[in-house]
Amino acid sequence: MQQTGVAYLPLHGGKAPAWLFQRMVRLGREIVRLIVEEHGPEELLVRLSDPYWFQSLGCVLGFDWHSSGVTTTVCGALKEGLKGMERELGLVVAGGKGATSRKTPSEITAAGDRLPLNRDSKELVYLSRLTAKIDNNAIQDGFQLYHHNFFFTLKGSWAVVQQGMSERYARRYHWYSEHIQSLTLEPHSAICSNRIQEKALNLVASESAKAQEVMTDLSKERPEKIVQELKKLQTLSLSSHHELSIKHLHPQSIEKVLLKTYEARANDFEELLGMAGVGAKTLRALALISEITYGTPASWKDPAKFSFAHGGKDGHPYPVNRKLYDQSIEILRKSVERAKIERPEKDKALNRLLQLFPEKVALARC
């Protein structure tokens, strides 16, 4: 896993005041336009997958520098700011917090119907669902997902920023498609949290590779055989973290899901993860049986591992300076417009030079 930093994210309630959120939308839009104008939409995905850059963006936009609300509000501001500009920027933002996160598949599908995507929208929907399922079920760290944003370019690159909650803390998960070699082995750009769990089941750790194979094979076994193994486990005296896991397993309810996996016969762990009904309890049961029966333990190591531009809404490090904020938006807006005007003139100049000195101009462009 490419781990790039630690973000401290205590849970804070409340909303961004309307006057601030409106400015976040406008400033966020201009920052994104500048990045896309200079480097292309893929560069924005690279930056969103970096927890340091993402947190700094939230601070520049004037939100709390350290709270969980940075994730939900910054993503919400970007989604609102880029609405209607998808074709111009070559970039789409889907999803959000709570009930909005569950609309992600339909939003991706709608984008595919109206925009010239180089990738099937059904595949993007699958990737959105799989990344959420991995961070909610394949990684069992005590954090329940409540926020999911799926960013993707018209060319098909994608990034995910999603967040889970546990007690009074949040954990943010970052993905970027071009850094991923395997969706089920060390796929993240980063997992951000200030709480490291003593024990957390991580089925996408490299140490869990063998367990993935055995779990996939187990899913094809007759359900009654797996259930019998589960009942045996409940009579054993195991280490504390296993007792905690087994206490929450119910063989009878898991048997119904195992019947589906038995009939579907997954070819690999990714296919098993993507099956309907295969959740945290089913995966935990298969992982435990894999360890006890075949000696292939999964990883129990927790995978988790910041900006004073305009101030913060809570007055830290100082109250938001509205006049300065509006000036920043206007400067960026004018910069983008000027760049659009100047670019054709630069192209014309290069073309004139090309007619006079074709070899030198060709080398300069390279």
Quick one: which of 86, 107, 110 has its CA closest to 33? 86
Taken as a whole, the chain contains a residue count of 366
Check if the beta carbon of residue 93 is closer than 8 Å to that of residue 77: no
Q: Tokens 């969706």: give the residue.
A: 183
Domain boundaries, the chain: 18-202, 206-294
Check if the beta carbon of residue 300 is closer than 8 Å to that of residue 139: no
For residue 285, give every residue at least 6 positions away whose Cβ sits within 8 Å of its Cβ, in sequence order, or none.
226, 230, 249, 251, 254
pLDDT for 170: 84
Angle between helices 18-39 and 41-48 (to 10 degrees): 120
- Dist CA 316 CA 336 (whole Å): 30
Name the DSSP class of 207. Answer: G
Quick one: which of 151, 223, 221, 194 has its CA closest to 304? 194
Quick one: which of 6, 243, 281, 267 has its CA closest to 138? 281
For strand 201-202 and strand 139-140, is the pairing parallel, antiparallel, or unpaired? antiparallel
- The SS3 call for residue 109 is helix
- Dist CA 16 CA 125 (whole Å): 30
Check if the beta carbon of residue 300 is closer than 8 Å to that of residue 208: no
Check if the beta carbon of residue 190 is closer than 8 Å to that of residue 305: yes
Q: For the whole model, what pTM was predicted? A: 0.72
Walking along the chain (366 residues) 10 residues at a time, the average pLDDT comes out as: 45 74 91 91 94 83 68 94 96 96 98 96 97 94 94 97 86 92 91 76 93 89 77 54 46 67 83 85 78 75 53 56 71 68 62 56 48
Cis peptide before 317 (omega within 30 of 0): yes
pLDDT for 239: 44
Beta-ladder partners of 166:
169
pLDDT for 305: 47
pLDDT for 5: 39
Beta-ladder partners of 159:
151, 176
For residue 180, give every residue at least 6 positions away whose Cβ sits within 8 Å of its Cβ, in sequence order, or none.
187
Query: Hey, what are 267's tokens?
Result: 């070819």
pLDDT for 4: 43
Quick one: which of 105, 106, 44 has its CA closest to 75? 44
Check if the beta carbon of residue 266 is closer than 8 Å to that of residue 219: yes
How many C-beta atoms lie closer than 10 Å to residue 218's C-beta?
Answer: 23
Cα pseudo-dihedral 201, 203, 205, 208, rounded to 10: 100
Quick one: which of 152, 165, 145, 100 has its CA closest to 126? 152
Name the DSSP class of 219. Answer: T
Q: Tokens 């296993």: give the residue.
A: 242
